Chains A and B, each alone.
Chain A
């Protein structure tokens, strides 16, 4: 077969095996008692050997074979996982890596005599002798003993035929003894084997050349027996002749000596006492993954975005035409692009596990330094979300978990006094909800200390000095207020002056929302709601100074129309009164430095929520709601306050996307 065609597949899979051998060795070094790891390593070496053999890469196959032998000795307990043994295995994997690359790249193969010697020393040092000599006595004849003669005589009387069968194996037959076993198996289906030459033991030990003889009793004809045996693989021929008890006193083939009653049971016993079976391994190797540079991925997603825009343009241009064929073709184009868009988006999705994975270790360390007993429960770590969100959500989560440990969970003594289990629990989880992902951090600590938060609020001038009881809701709002921090002393864990408002800002910059719920004395739960992807968002399109602008829809609360007369002034600032609420009012054109619009008629106003505060923006016109593909701005314009990016609209025009969190 043309083996070269498979070289690439071979190389990829072989590298995988080497990688898993390496990983398994690392864990084996730490858990030498774990048989499952050994089995897995053995299996990897074994598979590698088979593959290398098939490719005709003999050096690789031989080396892997030596390694496999050592692993097998370890599995059998005949070799102990002492440090030097493990070191030899590690360096063997290294050697295999070199050997593999040299082989694949058709470079000259280095001599690995020393490495092989090291493996062999382990194998032989174990008392395992060199392969047994396969020489055997030849040219001997086996005599039919009295007992067997009697059996045959009785068989003949009962109508059986007795045959002398000489079976010749093909040259180069592999596993001759097993081949003999298949012959025995086949013959015993139709008759009884009275005697073999050489003996069953010698057949099993492969102490024979290419031929062996059988005396059998059967009701079948000689032709049938010959057909059955020759129907077995690797049998060159079977000569079947009737046995004449008077003249045939012996069973002769070219070689042979002993006589013995063949005993299949013996071969079967060998099956159970021989090399142990490899038990099924614990974990299946991971499906092969293709690694792609994120840059290429982004490019693909970007192009798909362009395609979506072009589609919108085409649909827009032809929407007034009345051509059924064209309409159905466009509908098809629409479907395919939408699916393509979702497929491309899914490439950006990664499991949140990447972020969650760092927390067990962090909580362990913090629990130790704060002398608290903490149990961290993680769920939903396979929930997927946009890669760029995953990259940014880590820090806010670190902050929240530190808060839980520092401010939330009480000391052992306090917990005990309050009738709580001494071990505090922090639960961290994620789940999908519609087109959003919810991340929840909860703890069973003391919850929010509403009174202390109020006092702090007063102290910071955030609340009037005479403020009485405040609700949990109000306390939460205070916590997210810029600069608010309740930590009485700055600890190592939190309270570095970075308050929860920083967390909120990050979440909002990801187009998300954050909220807290607390039962004072019992629990605190923080819920972060994030969009699944940042690449496509729903936006409200508005016009200011002739320019189209996009406002992310989740920030928009409502849009209203006001008359100029409704604008009031409070402390030299424009405000409007909306349902008894006083809202600051800005002219978006002014905020962005565009030309101010002078008009007489009613003014459209967009009510947007910025850091928990509703704000009104006067715009020139409203276009409507639309899904837009975000394109980030780069270079010199990458960091403009109030602008999150840009998008290309259906008509080909560019619209800037407002970043409501930094707009004012």
Chain B
């Protein structure tokens, strides 16, 4: 069965582009969250195999969300997504338990590599 992914990003555009790449490569996007709180709720509900997590979001940022999800599921496989210039935050996200990171603008190959590597 195809691995499932939960996409978290506050911009619909980013969710759409990511979803496009992810689904073209044989994964199933089971949910899309627009902020950290939503991501946590959807994680509990959908139990996705992987999560992509934007950092800068309203209501609850990605790093807080990663910490919360890791509490719920220490084996959660989260890929943190950042823009250039967010290095300290990416490191914080990684030390909070994110398994990999992606830098915007997304390169389709990198996205797929990341999904493949953290799911194996």
Contacts and interface: CB of A to CB of B under 8 A. Distances in A.
Interface of A: 1, 3, 5-6, 9-10, 13-14, 43, 46-47, 49-51, 53-56, 61, 65, 174-175, 177-178, 181-182, 185, 231-234, 267-268, 270-275, 277-281, 283-285, 288
Interface string B69-106: 00000000000001111111111101100001101111
Nearest to B64: A280
Contacts of B57: 280
Nearest to B115: A233
A94 B102 CA distance: 31
Contacts of A177: 87
Contacts of A277: 55, 61, 63, 89, 92
Contact of B56 (A6, A43, A268): A43
Interface in B2-22: 10-14, 16-17, 20-21
Contact of B86 (A54, A55, A275): A275
Given A1-B24, A268-B95, A280-B59, 20 more contacts: A1-B17, A13-B12, A47-B14, A49-B83, A53-B83, A54-B105, A174-B84, A178-B87, A181-B94, A182-B100, A232-B100, A270-B87, A271-B91, A271-B95, A272-B88, A272-B92, A275-B85, A275-B89, A284-B59, A288-B12
Contacts of A9: 12-13, 16
Contact of A280 (B58, B94, B110): B58
Contacts of B13: 6, 9-10, 13-14, 51, 54
- Chief secondary structure at chain A's binding surface: helix
A181 B35 contact: no
Contact of B101 (A55, A175, A272, A278): A175
Contacts of B100: 182, 232-233
Contacts of B56: 43, 46-47, 278
A178 B94 contact: yes
B60 interface: yes
Contacts of B20: 1, 5-6
Contacts of B101: 175, 178, 182, 233
Contacts of B10: 47
A331 to B, nearest CB: 37
- Of B91, B101, B104, most A-chain CB atoms within 10 Å: B91
Contacts of A284: 35, 58-59
Interface of B: 10-14, 16-17, 20-21, 24, 35-36, 55-61, 63, 82-92, 94-95, 100-101, 103-106, 108, 110, 113-114, 117-118, 120
Given A177-B87, A268-B95, A54 B106 contact: yes
Contacts of A231: 117, 120
Contacts of B63: 277
A364 B103 CA distance: 51
3 closest cross-chain pairs (CB), A and B: A274-B88, A53-B105, A54-B105
Contacts, number: 128
A201 to B, nearest CB: 14
B16 A175 contact: no
A290 B56 CA distance: 26
A267 B60 CA distance: 25
B91 A13 contact: no
Contacts of A50: 11, 14, 83, 104-105
Nearest to A177: B87
B89 A267 contact: no
A185 B94 contact: yes
Contact of A234 (B24, B60, B113, B118): B113
Contact of B17 (A6, A268, A270): A6
A102 B115 CA distance: 36
A275 B89 CA distance: 8
B103 A174 contact: yes
A273 to B, nearest CB: 8
A182 B82 CA distance: 15
A182 B117 CA distance: 13
Contacts of B120: 231
A349 to B, nearest CB: 26
B60 A175 contact: no
B108 A270 contact: no
Contacts of B84: 65, 174-175
Given A1-B17, A233-B114, A178 B91 contact: yes
